[in-house]
């Protein structure tokens, strides 16, 4: 596969996941403010912008969150910019992306361009983006051959989902409210699955274990670390049976083992720092994948945060 096509598919996966997860994180932030009116909204806004890798000024206000993270196409961390990037990446890989998938991406882009997202109520805008991203993902699943191109799409989506889930947890931890973990579960779309697994009375540790470690829930950190590893193994069929030479696989495996084999009683210890480390791991993995598979293609840099 041409490195240009592979890179475009990788970034389609990342951009679409970032658009959806940014909506989830901002929606959780707004819910946290409603749950605890004593929270300083401007401080919470500054903390969220910092977690998302957006520029933070001394005059950061709560209103800046929706502009910087959702509507402003000139803001590299915004939903609008991510959807614009997904469309551009799909245009570059037009010969590989199915017609149905291209139509789904283009329709989504047209539905938010020209400030249309800003004219909607935030809850409606978030729901629109989540639903459209789900439509694109489902269309890709049903209309693309699950070959190398599909593996790059899956790899990008999985890496981005790990990164954004870590940011969502960091946002909740920074808020420090009594309902923080409940909102994390809802932000991940995990509340129903969590209640089915754990029943009624639960603790913060239970919620953390589910979001971080559950191997069956498709938005958990461990599930997506495993998915990224599996995609890389499919892409490197000549890999040695003794250890792992691929730096990206080693980094993902180390991060997964650090979560899965941590003592259960220490699950919540230093969680904010561990989530920051996980974000750095995702960035390093992305760089390793770029160096190995995309060298020589036209540069297309990720502009969605640190």
The domain limits of the chain are 3-293
The Cα-based distances of 245 to 90, 102, 239, 240 in angstroms read: 31, 35, 7, 7
Of 55, 298, 37, 60, the residue nearest 177 (C-alpha):
37
* pLDDT at site 287: 95
* pLDDT at site 265: 85
One pLDDT digit (tens) per residue for the chain, 306 residues: 688 899 999 999 999 999 999 999 999 888 888 888 888 888 888 888 888 988 776 666 767 889 999 999 999 999 999 999 999 999 999 989 999 999 999 999 999 988 888 899 999 999 999 999 999 999 999 999 999 999 999 999 999 999 999 999 998 887 777 788 888 999 999 999 999 988 866 788 899 999 999 999 999 999 999 999 999 999 987 766 666 678 999 999 999 999 999 998 888 899 999 999 999 999 999 999 999 999 865 545 545 444
* pLDDT at site 228: 97
* pLDDT at site 304: 47
* pLDDT at site 116: 86
The Cα-based distances of 9 to 15, 94, 142 in angstroms read: 10, 10, 16
Determine the Cα–Cα distance for residues 32 and 181; give it in Å rounded to an integer: 10
**Count of alpha carbons within 13 Å of 44, Cβ hemisphere only?**
24
If one counts every other C-beta atom within 10 angstroms of the C-beta of residue 100, the result is 15
If one counts every other C-beta atom within 10 angstroms of the C-beta of residue 305, the result is 17
* pLDDT at site 241: 60
Whole-angstrom distance between the N-terminal and C-terminal Cα of the chain?
A: 29
């Amino acid at each position: 596969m041409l490195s240009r096509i592979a890179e475009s598919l990788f970034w389609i996966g990342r951009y679409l996941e970032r658009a959806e997860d940014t909506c989830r994180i901002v929606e959780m932030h707004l819910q946290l403010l409603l749950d605890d009116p004593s929270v300083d909204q401007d401080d919470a806004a500054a903390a969220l912008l910092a977690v998302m890798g957006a520029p933070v000024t001394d005059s950061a206000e709560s209103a800046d969150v929706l502009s910087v993270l959702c509507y402003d196409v000139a803001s590299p961390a915004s939903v609008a910019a991510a959807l614009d990037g997904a469309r551009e990446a799909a245009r570059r890989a037009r010969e590989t992306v199915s017609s149905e998938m291209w139509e789904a991406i283009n329709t989504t882009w047209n539905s938010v361009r020209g400030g249309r997202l800003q004219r909607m109520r935030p809850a409606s805008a978030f729901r629109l983006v989540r639903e459209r991203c789900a439509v694109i993902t489902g269309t890709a699943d049903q209309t693309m051959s699950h070959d190398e191109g599909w593996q790059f799409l899956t790899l990008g989506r999985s890496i981005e989902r790990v990164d954004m889930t870590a940011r969502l947890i960091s946002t909740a931890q920074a808020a420090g409210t009594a309902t923080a973990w409940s909102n994390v579960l809802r932000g991940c779309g995990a509340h129903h699955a969590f209640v089915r697994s754990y029943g009624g009375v639960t603790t913060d540790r239970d919620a953390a274990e589910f979001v971080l470690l559950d191997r069956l829930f498709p938005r958990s950190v461990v599930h997506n670390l495993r998915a990224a590893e599996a995609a890389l193994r499919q892409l490197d069929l000549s890999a040695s049976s003794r250890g792992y030479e691929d730096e990206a696989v080693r980094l993902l495996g180390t991060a997964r083992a650090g979560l899965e084999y941590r003592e259960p009683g220490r699950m919540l210890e230093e969680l904010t720092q561990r989530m920051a480390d996980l974000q750095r791991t995702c960035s390093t993995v992305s760089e390793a994948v770029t160096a190995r598979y995309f060298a020589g293609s036209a540069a297309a840099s990720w502009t969605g945060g640190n």
